[in-house]
Amino acid sequence: MLGPRKRLEPKLFYTGLSLDSRIPDDHLLRRIRERIDFDFVRAEVAGLYGVKGNPSIDPAVLLKLMVLLFLENVSSERALMEQMAYRLDWLWFCGYDVDEEVPNHSVLSKARRRWGSEVFSNLFKRVLDQCVDAGLVEGDLLHVDGSLIAANASMDTLHPDLRAIGETLYATLEAAVGDDDEHDTEPAEARAQDDAPLSKSMVSDTDPDARMTRKNGKTVLGYKEHRVVDDAHGVITATATTAASVDESHMLQSVLNQHRFNTGLLEDRVAADKGYGTREVYKMLHDRSVTPCIPHQKHGGSHGTWSTDRFVYDADADCFLCPAGHTLHRKPSRHTRRTDTTVRYYADTATCAACPYRPSCTKNPNGRTVTRHPDQSYVEWADSCLPRQERRRLQGRRRVVAEGSFADAANNHGYKRARWRSRVRVEIQNLLIATVQNIRKLLSRSPRKRPDRASGLLARRWSPLLRHLGALLAYYRPLQHVRVRFSAIPCAQVASIEI
């Protein structure tokens, strides 16, 4: 039969009501509360509070609220506290009862200013340690990338930074005077930075720490986050926040050092896009005994002429061979600065003029010129480290793992625009988002025992040999019926061949 109409008549007293019974056992917040310890923050910030006055909100509760802000992708702290009154799971997660008054949203902003970024960096490190202990980080293959974050400021607030313009002009004059100084030893790279256009010396009144850069033909005012993502399960092992104008290649060594400090693991291979493909990066990776999978930036002729990569360098004769088989010899140039270490190689003018490939090679009436840097050998070393097919495979993995990590942050955690202003606060935002992403990885994967240091070293030493063995068997025609399977075991990598 038809039941009666449901009418809500509030009771004066509620008996048998328990928030804990209302939260399912498999609820995300229950699992986070069981796995993550937020109470460490009390000892971290104890010295930032006085001994007199009103007692503050529990710092562990404030940290949980900040995690909720990005876990649930709430638009603002004000909206978070407005929704908390009717979210039973949030109340239970933070330790509040249904009839208890929740904090004001201003408490969160005050806590952020007081704590700084160190507390959130420690939270990120603690969650990462749990991921490492669970076997979710292998450290063999790392993907490094950077992403732009639009500042919480308008482009209309930009104005020339007179102090930066003055410093740039002063540096330019110093460089000009240095050309006539026999003892001038300033690096050419530093001069290139000093010669930057003065139009880039702009600052915003709203967010003075934000800087401009070009992305896809558009000018963007904001910041840039640099990430290291482990290939095994996409766990973020390092993150750094800079102004948008900072080049990605300048931060590679810093984030790799942070990865080693955070995980205690040594990287074996690093994959990145061509923005990191500089001689300085290759030299740094060579010194660290790390195999790069980074395509270098190809510099060639303008207006469709042949690039320098088509010319073969002969180290024994110290000359270049052009595609037509002619030789380019090394000669000094009158226009070269004494601090410029680049070596120039010139083709014979008559031979170059009679060459049938001249229209495709150069537009210079004096013939083709090729330059070579003394550290060019590191570029050649980086190009020869991995087979072409393996490089393509690793670049595909980089797009899935590294770019996928940024895409997940943008789609689910409000990543692409800064909620707050100043570099320190944007750094806090990036640390919280990376922490939330790692928490999701930690809860979605079954825990495994962390390998000991000796077995991990054995796996890193034998894994390249096993990979090459698998590649040989895969491409060997008579053994097409042989199937090679590699089992990713934390303590070692074992190859089993099935016939």
Instruction: Report DSSP state, residue 232.
Output: T
Tokens describing residue 424: 């320190």
> Rounded CA gap, 432 and 80, in Å?
15
CA 452, 240, 148: angle at the middle one, nearest 5? 130
State how far the Cα of 372 lies from the Cα of 309, in Å rounded to an integer: 11
Give me the sign of the Cα torsion angle 445, 232, 398, 396: negative
pLDDT of res. 286 = 94
The CA distance from 408 to 438, in Å, is 12
Residue 41 CA to residue 49 CA, distance in Å, equals 13
Q: Please count the helices (runs of H) and the strands (runs of E) in the chain.
A: 18, 15
**Residue 77's pLDDT is what?**
94
- Report which of 369, 373, 357, 366 is spatially closest to residue 301, judged by C-alpha positions: 369
| Euclidean distance between CA atoms 38 and 60, whole angstroms | 5
Q: Residue 2 and residue 360: Cα distance in Å, rounded?
A: 87
Indicate if the alpha-carbon torsion angle 73, 76, 81, 85 is positive or negative. negative
Angle at 190 between CA 189 and CA 194, to 5 degrees: 120
Q: Write down the pLDDT at residue 187.
A: 40
Q: Could you tell me the sign of the dihedral formed by the alpha carbons of 384, 390, 393, 399, in that order?
A: negative
Residues 360, 324 contacting (CB under 8 angstroms): no
**Pairwise CA distance, residues 484 & 474, whole Å:** 8
Q: What string of DSSP letters covers 99-168?
A: TSPPPPTHHHHHHHHHH-SHHHHHHHHHHHHHHHHTT----SEEEEEEEEEE-SS-GGGEEE-HHHHHHH
Distance CA 409, CA 147 (A): 11
Contact 142/259 with Cβ under 8 angstroms? yes
The helix/strand/coil state of 472 is helix
H or E element, residue 483: strand 483-489
Per-residue pLDDT, 3: 66
φ, ψ dihedrals at 126, nearest 5°: -65, -45
* Encoded tokens for 406: 């940024």
pLDDT tens by residue, the chain, 499 residues? 676 776 767 766 766 678 888 899 999 999 999 999 999 999 999 998 888 878 889 999 999 999 999 999 999 999 999 999 899 999 999 999 888 889 999 999 999 999 999 999 999 999 999 999 999 999 999 999 999 999 999 888 888 776 666 777 777 777 666 544 434 333 433 333 433 443 457 888 899 999 999 888 888 899 999 999 999 999 999 999 999 999 999 999 999 999 999 999 999 999 999 999 999 999 999 999 999 999 987 655 555 678 887 888 888 888 888 888 888 888 765 555 555 577 888 888 888 888 888 888 888 888 888 888 888 889 889 988 999 999 999 999 999 999 999 999 999 999 999 999 999 999 999 999 999 999 999 998 754 444 454 444 444 455 555 555 555 554 444 433 333 333 343 443 444 433 3
